Amino acid sequence: MPLRPEELLHPRPEGLYCPMGDFYIDPMRAVARALITHGHSDHARAGHGAVLATRETLAIMALRMGEEFCGERQAVAYGAVIHHYGVDVSFHPAGHVLGSAQILLDYKGLRIAVSGDYKRADDPTTAPFTPVPCHVFITEATFGLPVFHHPDAAGEVGKLLASLIRQPGRAHLIGAYSLGKAQRVMRLIRQAGYDAPIYLHGAMEKVTRFYESEGIDLGSLLPVPPAKSGADLAGAIILAPPSAMHDRWSQRFGDCVHVAASGWMRIKARARQSGVELPLIISDHADWRELQQTIRETGASQIWVTHGQEDALVHWCGTQGLAAKPLRLIGYGDEEVEEAA
């Protein structure tokens, strides 16, 4: 009798579990063996006995959680195959953040690809997404509704630079996730020709310096000095985690332009409710059309949806003759959680 996909990988309270290999993928609780797709804390947690991930993800986890984040660690290169209890495991670029990976399980000819979080747009700060042929594709659906179509990120940064010219007396405070989004925005700003110093919230320092150590040129970066006033930084670009945008730290900048870089800025009401004056639709996730494109490119006949707009994507798969189901895993998709790290 052929092996059913659910026998190779299925949800448990700890997360997605592979009984043949006795390991979990992106577990939400501490386990003996964990395979980690990327360093955001809704996927990467401390306390595991052993962790297998890309070199960059392991380094990011150590930076954010401390060197003792797990008992043992093993780095794996993209495309390398690890044989574990009869299961062939390999990691492939996901394009989400530096070091992010899809994880492919191959057991007796059955191939299941766990995508983690991924994007299809160009990003010079991380390896581009590579479609992985498989029988079962496990996909996110963060922006899994037809309304979500991400515009060209360079055009969104153009709006920022135009605002700087129009309002030279106001600092521009950009809310962006500390891991991945912030560094991508910095690089996009440099590619657009802006070469003045960019000021960073302290929570972004360690990860940003790691990106630079990996050969990613982000230009002149300076920490925001404690005593700086809004007038001192008039006309400057400042990056901070979303959680810092409206706290006491940000009040020092006075009448600054509040900017947010997120795929959620497509929803105008959300931007208004967040007090965002200049929304930039820059996402590190696939949009509706890119989700469809990716599913087709994998050649998978079964699609499992882990988080986000699960029902809409499951319905679309059904219209395409694909078997699909929501996994309804709890704990993924809230990258705001990582801003405390």
- Whether residues 97 and 175 fall in one domain: no
Cα–Cα distance between 267 and 227 in angstroms, integer? 35
What number of other Cβ atoms are within 10 A of residue 270's Cβ? 14
Cα–Cα distance between 338 and 179 in angstroms, integer? 8
- Whether residues 260 and 324 fall in one domain: no
| pLDDT score recorded for residue 336 | 46
Which residues, listed in sequence order, are joined to residue 81 by a DSSP beta bridge?
Answer: 90
Cα–Cα distance between 255 and 247 in angstroms, integer? 14
The terminus-to-terminus CA distance of the chain in angstroms comes to 47
- Whether residues 110 and 225 fall in one domain: no
- Whether residues 218 and 182 fall in one domain: yes
- Whether residues 122 and 187 fall in one domain: no
- Whether residues 51 and 121 fall in one domain: yes
Q: What is the pLDDT along the chain (341 residues), one digit of tens a residue?
A: 689 999 999 999 999 999 999 999 999 999 999 999 999 999 999 999 999 999 999 999 999 999 999 999 999 999 999 999 999 999 999 999 999 999 999 999 999 999 999 999 999 999 999 999 999 999 999 999 999 999 999 999 999 999 999 999 999 999 999 999 999 999 999 999 999 999 999 999 999 999 999 999 999 999 998 766 656 899 999 999 999 998 888 888 889 999 999 999 999 898 988 889 999 999 999 999 999 999 999 999 999 999 888 999 999 999 999 999 999 776 556 554 444 33
Q: What's the domain range around 175?
A: 153-280
| pLDDT score recorded for residue 251 | 87
- Whether residues 47 and 133 fall in one domain: yes
Cα–Cα distance between 116 and 199 in angstroms, integer? 31
Q: Which DSSP symbol is given to 45?
A: -
Which residues make Cβ contacts (< 8 Å) with residue 48, sequence separation at least 6?
27, 30, 31, 32, 33, 34, 69, 70, 71
- Whether residues 177 and 248 fall in one domain: yes
| pLDDT score recorded for residue 338 | 41
Strands 15-18 and 10-12: antiparallel
Which residues, listed in sequence order, are joined to residue 138 by a DSSP beta bridge?
Answer: 114, 304
- Whether residues 133 and 251 fall in one domain: no
Number of domains in the chain: 2
Cα–Cα distance between 301 and 265 in angstroms, integer? 33
Cα–Cα distance between 163 and 295 in angstroms, integer? 38
Domain termination residue (choose one: 255, 280, 305): 280
- Whether residues 137 and 10 fall in one domain: yes
DSSP string covering 59-94: HHHHHHH-TTSEEEEEE--BT-EEEETTEEEEEEE-
| pLDDT score recorded for residue 340 | 34
Q: How far is CA 3 from CA 187, 196, 236, 308, in A?
A: 46, 58, 59, 29
| pLDDT score recorded for residue 76 | 98
Domain termination residue (choose one: 252, 280, 308): 280
- Whether residues 137 and 166 fall in one domain: no
| pLDDT score recorded for residue 252 | 87
- Whether residues 216 and 246 fall in one domain: yes
> Phi and psi (nearest 5°) for 249?
-60, -40
